[in-house]
Amino acid sequence: MILLVQRGSFHLQPVDFEGSRKESIAEANLPVLNAPVKKSSHIKSYLKRTTIGFTLSANLAYLRDSGKVNNMYFISDSHKVVYIRILKCASTSMLKEFLPLVDERLNVKHLSATQIDAVGYYVHRNVLKGSCLAYTKFALVRNPFHRIVSAYLDLFDPKATTFSYASYWFGILKREMTFKDFIKTISKVPPSLLGPHFIPQWSVLKKTSFLKDILIYRIEKDMESLLVFLSQYNVLLPNENKHHIEYDFRSYYDAETFALVSDMYREDVVAFGYQADCVALEEYISAL
C-alpha cells in the first residue's frame, strides 16, 4: 500500500492493448485467427477512455485475473504435447516454432516478435483439462539473474513505441527507471502479483498439480537435450538475441540488487539448479 501511495497514480493515460494486438494480427495476414470481440456498454467504454476509468479498470482486471494471467498453455492436440510458456526464457523463439503444431495454418515464418505475442495471446489457454492432462508437457527456464536483466532491457527499452507496464499497479513502474530502482520497486510487490515478465518461474509451474510430469529445460545448460526432444516434433529453436546487442548481465548488479534478486528468486535458483551461477555472480560482484 505504501508503494502505491508513493509511486502510483489514478491518472494514467489509456493504452489500447486490444487494438494493438488486432492491428498486429491484421498486418500478419492470418485470416485463420479470429480475435474475439469483447462487447462493452457505452458507459463502460467511455469510462475506459478517461484516465481514472482506465486506471481502475486495468488494475481491477489484473487483480481479478492474477491467478491465471501467468498460465500460458499452448496445446497441440495433433502431437499430444503442451508448451508451458514462461516469458523471458526464449519463449518468443520457442512459440514461433511451436505455433504450427497448435494449428498448421499458423506455419508463417515471417512473423515479428510483436505478431507472435499477439497470436499467442489469442491461441493460448489458461487451464488444462480433459485429455490434455495426459499430453507431454514441457517448459523452458532460465538463470533468474539473467532473466530479470533481459526483462528490464526489453520492457524499459527507450526505443519502444509503448511501455507495456505503464498501468501496472497504478503506474508504480516508470519508463525511465534504472535497473536498481526497478528491482527495488518490484521486490516490494507480493510474488503472486508480479507481472508475467518477472514472476518467479517456479510460481508459474507450481500452479499445476502435475508439476512432476513437466519436462523442464534450462536454456543455458540443457540445450542439447532440448533440441533432441524438439526434433521428434520436427521443431527447431533458433538462437535469437531480441535486444540485438551483446551485454554482460552481471554488469547490472551491485551488492544490493544481488541481495534483492536472490531473495525474490530463491526458489528458482534451488529448483532449477542455478546455485553455482548464484555463487559465481556474488564472487564477481565482490571482486568489483
Tens of pLDDT along 11-20? 455 555 666 7
CA distances 64 to 57, 67, 69, 207, Å, are 10, 8, 9, 17
CB 50 within 8 A of CB 57: no
Q: Give 151 or 161, the one with higher predicted confidence.
A: 151
Residue 70 binned pLDDT confidence (cut-offs 50, 70, 90): confident
Three-state secondary structure call for residue 207: coil
Query: What is the domain count for the chain?
Result: 1
Q: What are phi and psi of 95, to 5 degrees?
A: -65, -40
Task: Estimate to the nearest angstrom the gap between the alpha carbon of 93 and the chain centroid.
Answer: 13
Q: What is the 3-state secondary structure (H, E, C) of 25-58?
A: HHHHCCCCCCCCCCCCCHHHHHHHCCHHHHHHHH
Q: Give 158 or 129, the one with higher predicted confidence.
A: 129
| pLDDT confidence of residue 261 | 99
Please name which of 250, 217, 242 lies closest in space to residue 145, comparing C-alpha atoms. 250
Q: Give residue for cell 533432441.
A: 228
DSSP assignment, residue 13? Answer: P
Three-state secondary structure call for residue 3: helix
Distance CA 175, CA 15 (A): 15
pLDDT at 5 over 50: no
Three-state secondary structure call for residue 199: coil
Distance CA 166, CA 172 (A): 8
Task: Estimate to the nearest angstrom the gap between the alpha carbon of 62 and the chain centroid.
Answer: 14
Q: Give 118 or 63, the one with higher predicted confidence.
A: 118
Q: What is the pLDDT of residues 177-207, one digit of tens each?
A: 999 999 999 999 988 888 889 999 999 998 7
Q: What are phi and psi of 236, to 5 degrees?
A: -110, 160
Distance CA 187, CA 171 (A): 15
Q: What is the pLDDT of residues 92-140, one digit of tens each?
A: 999 999 999 999 888 877 888 888 998 998 899 998 889 998 999 999 9
Domain extent at residue 270: 2-286
Please name which of 190, 198, 167 lies closest in space to residue 86, comparing C-alpha atoms. 198
Q: Give 50 or 119, the one with higher predicted confidence.
A: 119
By mean pLDDT, which of 66-70, 127-131, 197-201, 270-274 is the weakest?
66-70
| pLDDT confidence of residue 187 | 96
Distance CA 30, CA 117 (A): 14
Considering the entire predicted model, what is its pTM? Answer: 0.85
Rama region for 80: left / alpha / beta (φ>0; ψ in -120 to 50; rest):
left
| pLDDT confidence of residue 202 | 93
